[in-house]
A and B are shown apart, each in its own frame.
Chain A
């Protein structure tokens, strides 16, 4: 009996140790608690899940799965670095950031990166205008896109700022149908209150 108990405890410990890796690195980001996401400090209003790294310097958050809503944070991308991970350097090289880019050109860089990462043919910038990110001067990019072989219109809102020659980005995107509008106020509040 004692042996049985001990083995049960062992199995329980093994399971406890194993389960985080089984959930592919998802981590609960609790509501109203400040979280340090690489170089950015953000405070969510509600619970979010923190997932993997879409880029070397990036993190993705979601509530219902990244296909339904996603919030990405990228911190300190240097000149020559890419926004999204270069998964296939030979066939799909990612655009490289250049600290010399003028403010309106950040939108072009973001568009090319987002297109390449998602293999998009349809992407339109609805508006790009000056904004703040973490109290620094930056660019707001509102965009609309469609995934290949998909009939859903998706919307996004990104904020980009260059601080000491390095690029910081917060990017929220979701399908136009329900999810984008539903999550936008919280995403905007988080982006506005983000601090370096």
Chain B
């Protein structure tokens, strides 16, 4: 195991360590299929996580859509190789934050907020590859060991400090936490580089920098709306656990500029088709959440990359209607009408069109749209309330 980890790190440094070695062919680390955890620490970690997974797989937060899960698994397999992707069990979770995780035992969690913000299989591949790299490099185990060693040293330092009447605990603790954060950042960067290596060895082009660029732009949009200062940092803070988005954008851009890095089909059309079907699930909590400018940025950037469809226009209509300024209601009505015109709008688009029309004083058109909503969705959860509105 250890040998595998060392090999992987060695490959990493060979692949990304020096300019001359950058052109060297990346080879995936060797992989054992039915791997059993080795040593007391790894066995303990796996046991805890197996136990966690038994409870987690019944969580109501999990999006139970077999087709979507299979699709993500397929992208992972294309990225890290058919032999090793079977080590991961993928769960899509309802969470509007941009995040994915992979535990040492192969439990992989992908947030709906991540899927909503990506535009192609190649982009998804960089994230899945990054998480898989954490798994393959045994990062959680190493972090656990590092933390334990650190806290042991901390204990000894505090004790020896007490013996000579000096309080060194606080200083040592902050040094320990800073060191741990730095260690974490190193691991994140290692995973980014190994992920880039996986993709270079796959059929996908490397499309990572654009993901981090969009995250920065989204954050800027939200900060501007909230009248907060924009933050663009090239150096991480002492307690940051990840490299900054700007750092990631910079080093991925460099790798993407290497010859051949951009070759291959990015799978944008396939990604659009696979995610359009479940768009309300992916965008629902973003739209109903509390970050208007961020959600609007995410919707517009998807439209720019993959085009508008009825579901995406409806989502934007909902976003504006729910914010509810008088001008928002006018804008929302336009989005609902555009959604309806595409022929691919959900029944709820007529609900939105009807409500915004009525709020705007056009009760005839409003009632007609609401009636259409009830025809299209007679079992709607608010059918009774709508009928009452129509009768008055």
- Mark A residues whose CB is within 8 Å of B: 90-93, 95-96, 98, 100-105, 107-108, 111-112, 115-116, 120-123, 125-130, 139, 144, 146, 148, 151-153
Q: How far is the CA of A104 from the CA of B350 in the complex (A)?
A: 14
Is the beta-carbon distance between B388 and A126 smaller than 8 angstroms?
A: no
Other contacts beyond A92-B290, A129-B385: 8, CB < 8 A: A91-B226, A102-B358, A116-B290, A121-B95, A122-B61, A146-B60, A146-B94, A152-B60
From known contacts A90-B226, A92-B290, A122-B60, infer whether A103 and B389 are also in contact, taking CB-CB under 8 Å: yes
Residues B389 and A151 in contact, CB atoms below 8 Å apart: no
- Assess the B55–A121 pair: CB atoms within 8 A: no
Asked if B365 is at the interface of the complex by the 8 Å CB criterion, the answer is no
Give which listed residue, A91, A103, A123, A144, contacts B288 with CB less than 8 A.
Answer: A123
Within the complex, the shortest CB–CB distance from A120 to chain B, in Å, comes to 8
Q: Which of B216-230 contact A (CB under 8 A)?
A: 226, 228
Q: A90-B228, A93-B290, A151-B60 in contact; A121/B388 too (CB < 8 A)?
A: no
Contacts of A148 in B (CB 8 A): 95
- Alpha-carbon distance A102/B95, docked complex (angstroms): 29
Nearest CB to that of A89 among chain B residues?
A: B226
7 A–B contacts from the bound complex (CB under 8 Å): A104-B389, A108-B321, A127-B381, A128-B381, A130-B384, A146-B61, A152-B60
**Does the CB pair A104–B60 fall under 8 Å?**
no
A67 CB, min distance to chain B CBs, angstroms? 17
Q: How far is the CA of A91 from the CA of B386 in the complex (A)?
A: 34
Give B292 Cβ to nearest chain A Cβ, in Å. 9
Question: What's the least CB distance linking B231 to chain A, in Å?
Answer: 14
Closest residue of B by beta carbon distance from A127: B381
Q: How large is the interface on B (under 10, 10 to 19, 20 to 34, 35 or more residues)?
A: 20 to 34
In the assembled complex, which residues on chain A have CB atoms less than 8 Å from the CB atom of B228?
A: 90
Which residues of chain B come closer than 8 Å to A93, judged between CB atoms?
Answer: 290
CB atoms of A112 and B288 under 8 A apart: yes
Cross-chain contact B288 with A129 (CB below 8 angstroms): no
Q: B59 on the interface (CB 8 Å rule)?
A: yes
Which of A101, A102, A126, A151 contacts B381 (CB under 8 A)? Answer: A126
Q: In the complex, what distance in Å separates the CA atom of A63 from the CA atom of B113?
A: 36
* Beta-carbon nearest neighbor of A126 in chain B: B381
- Per the bound structure, the CA–CA distance linking A115 and B285 in Å amounts to 9
In the complex, B120 has a CB within 8 A of chain A:
no
With contact pairs A115-B290, A130-B388 given, residues A122 and B94 touching in the complex (Cβ less than 8 Å): yes
Chain A residues contacting B289 (CB-CB under 8 Å) are 115-116, 121
Interface centre among A92, A122, A127, A130 (most CB of B within 10 A): A122
Docked Cα-Cα span, A144 to B290, in Å, equals 19
Minimum CB–CB distance from A31 to chain B (whole Å) comes to 34
Instruction: Say yes or no: is B382 at the interface (Cβ < 8 Å to chain A).
Output: yes
Among residues of A, the one whose C-beta sits closest to the C-beta of B370 is A104
What sequence of 0s and 1s flags, for each residue 361-392 of chain B, a beta carbon within 8 Å of any chain A beta carbon? Answer: 00000000000000000000110111011000
The 4 closest A-B pairs by CB, nearest first: A129-B384, A104-B385, A121-B285, A128-B382
Inter-chain CA distance A96–B325, complex, in Å, is 10
Selected contact of A108 from candidates B96, B226, B322, CB within 8 Å:
B322
Q: Do A103 and B55 touch (CB < 8 A)?
A: no
Q: Is B145 an interface residue (CB 8 A)?
A: no
Give B82-124 interface residues, CB cut-off 8 Å to A. Answer: 94-97, 112-113
In this complex, what residue of A is CB-closest to B96? A121
Q: Assuming A98-B324, A104-B389, A123-B288, is B59 touching A146 (CB within 8 A)?
A: yes
Does B234 lie at the interface of the complex (its beta carbon under 8 Å from any beta carbon of A)? Answer: no
> Would you call A112 and B388 a contact (CB within 8 A)?
no
**B58 interface hit (Cβ, 8 Å):** yes
Instruction: List chain A residues, Cβ under 8 A from B324.
Output: 95-96, 98, 101
Min CB gap A122→B, angstroms: 5
A35 to chain B, nearest CB (A): 30
Partner of B94, one of A100, A103, A121, A153: A121
* Cβ–Cβ < 8 Å partners of A90 in chain B: 226, 228
B355 interface residue (CB < 8 Å to A): yes
Does B60 lie within 8 Å of A103, measured CB to CB? no
Query: Bound state CA distance, A100 and B361, in angstroms?
Result: 11
Taking a contact as CB atoms under 8 Å apart, the answer to whether A151 and B290 are in contact is no
Smallest beta-carbon distance A136→chain B, Å? 14
Contact A104-B355, Cβ < 8 Å, known A125-B382, A153-B60: yes
Question: A121-B94, A151-B60 given as contacts; is B388 within 8 A of A103 (CB)?
Answer: yes
Looking across the interface, which residue of chain A has its beta carbon closest to that of B59?
A151
Distance A20 CA – B58 CA, assembled complex (angstroms): 42
A residues in contact with B61, CB < 8 Å: 121-122, 146, 151
Separation in Å of the B321 CB from the closest CB of chain A? 8
Residues of B within 8 A of A116 (CB): 289-290
Nearest-Cβ distance from residue A20 to partner chain B, whole angstroms = 35
- Bound together, the chains give a CA A108 to CA B290 distance in angstroms of 13
Q: Is B156 an interface residue (CB 8 A)?
A: no
Asked whether A100 lies within 8 Å of B386 as measured between CB atoms, the reply is: no
Residue picked from A91, A104, A129, most chain B C-beta under 10 Å: A104
Flag if A151 contacts B226 (CB, 8 Å).
no
